[in-house]
């Protein structure tokens, strides 16, 4: 009888134990820029890029709104992939609205020009008020509950494959290495985020020449569950050997109505073997219906939009759900 009673008590207690927390990712609409909020199961936050400046604080307000929805009151780690205005331009406006503890970047600006200098100086003025982390290829961020490993930084790539990767890439055969890109894009901080058995990749605006070094002749990254499409889906990134090496289950493209979403790039990603769905922040006007996903998978279908976001919820077992805040549609993907 005593054993039965203890068993009943244990079962009752199990019923009220808190469920394991999930990883949440908010893909925020900054209309062709980039801003993605990652919230670890530990509650720590990582924001990747801040969108554009101006527009009456539009992008900073959208980031703050997404953070509020996620229960985030401060940014623990702000990762600036590179110093282009659609990625780093919103830092001053965001810093006036939310505390930022750590600023993570690849080091000094590498692209000449007065506008670049002004942008970098504006960013570094706020960075110097917080803690600066210079991220190099191979480094990780100390975020509890996640592994965030940088695979590219300041034009450098990881020299050796990540754990479980390193297999020959057959899609490199006959593919010529692209010419080196001389802009800040090629210096992008790129990362692989791991939560349990779930893996996601976000390489900022890393260009095809650097992609080649990551996946040819051998795939240093390995396969991923979620691919944050590089460079807004523009033709200077997302080569066929690269995307096929990742073998993603789901892709999300942070594009604008008239920026990114190149038809040929869209087709390359859509045709990748094993891809189940392709989600977009915006309908790409120039690509037409044939090179956009069905409206169900697009957060903003009209050019004049309501800044709807996509949210990815990843569970400890590796399964994940993508939720469209515009139409409330969601789809769950089981771990492959």
Give residue-wise pLDDT tens across range 127-152: 999 999 999 999 999 999 999 999 99
Distance CA 183, CA 207 (A): 9
Domain-located, residue 118: yes
Residue 40 lies in a domain: yes
Q: Is residue 3 part of a domain?
A: no
Report the predicted TM-score, pTM, of the whole model to 2 decimal places: 0.93
231 burial via Cβ count (<10 Å: 0-12, 13-18, 19+) = buried
Domain that holds residue 190: 20-333
The single residue listed with the structure tokens 């976001």 is: 309
Q: Is the pLDDT of residue 208 over 50?
A: yes
The CATH number that applies at residue 146 is 3.60.15.10
**Is there a domain that residue 4 lies in?**
no
Q: What is the mean pLDDT of residues 173-183?
A: 95
Residue 241, SS3 per DSSP: helix
Strands 250-253 and 277-282: parallel
255 inside domain: yes
Count of domains for the chain: 1
Domain membership flag for residue 186: yes
Sequence-separated contacts (24+) of 322-327 with Cβ below 8 Å: 322/250, 322/252, 322/277, 322/279, 324/279, 324/296, 324/297, 324/298, 324/299, 325/299, 326/298, 326/299, 326/300, 326/301, 327/295, 327/296
Residue 211 lies in a domain: yes
Residue 75 inside a domain? The answer is yes
Per-residue pLDDT reduced to its tens digit, 308-321: 999 999 999 999 99
């Amino acid at each position: 009888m005593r054993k039965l009673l203890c068993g009943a008590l244990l079962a009752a207690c199990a019923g009220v134990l808190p469920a394991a927390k999930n990883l949440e990712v908010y893909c925020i609409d900054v209309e062709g820029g980039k801003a993605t909020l990652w919230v670890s199961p530990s509650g720590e936050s990582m924001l990747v890029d801040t969108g554009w400046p101006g527009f009456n604080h539009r992008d900073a307000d959208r980031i703050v709104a997404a953070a509020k929805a996620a229960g985030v009151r401060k940014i623990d780690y702000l990762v600036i992939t590179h110093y282009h205005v659609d990625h780093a331009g919103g830092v001053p406006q965001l810093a006036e609205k939310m505390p930022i503890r750590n600023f993570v970047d690849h080091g000094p600006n590498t692209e000449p020009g007065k506008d670049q200098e002004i942008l970098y100086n504006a960013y570094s003025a706020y960075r110097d008020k917080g803690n600066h982390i210079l991220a190099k290829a191979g480094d990780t961020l100390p975020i509890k509950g996640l592994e965030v490993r940088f695979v590219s930084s300041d034009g450098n790539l990881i020299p050796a494959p990540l754990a479980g990767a390193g297999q020959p890439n057959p899609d490199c055969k006959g593919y010529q290495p692209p010419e080196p890109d001389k802009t800040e894009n090629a210096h992008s901080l790129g990362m692989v985020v791991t939560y349990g058995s779930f893996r996601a990749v976000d390489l900022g605006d890393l260009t095809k020449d650097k992609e080649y070094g990551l996946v040819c002749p051998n795939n240093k990254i390995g396969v991923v569950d979620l691919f944050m499409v590089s460079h807004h889906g523009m033709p200077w990134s997302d080569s066929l050997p690269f995307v096929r090496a990742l073998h993603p289950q789901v892709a999300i493209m942070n594009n604008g109505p008239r920026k990114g979403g190149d038809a040929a790039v869209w087709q390359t990603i859509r045709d990748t073997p094993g891809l189940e769905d392709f989600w977009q922040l915006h309908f790409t006007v120039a690509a037409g219906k044939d090179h956009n996903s069905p409206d169900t998978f697009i957060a903003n279908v009209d050019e004049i939009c309501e800044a709807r976001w996509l949210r990815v919820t990843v569970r400890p077992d590796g399964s994940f759900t993508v939720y469209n805040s515009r139409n409330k549609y969601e789809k769950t993907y089981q771990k492959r």
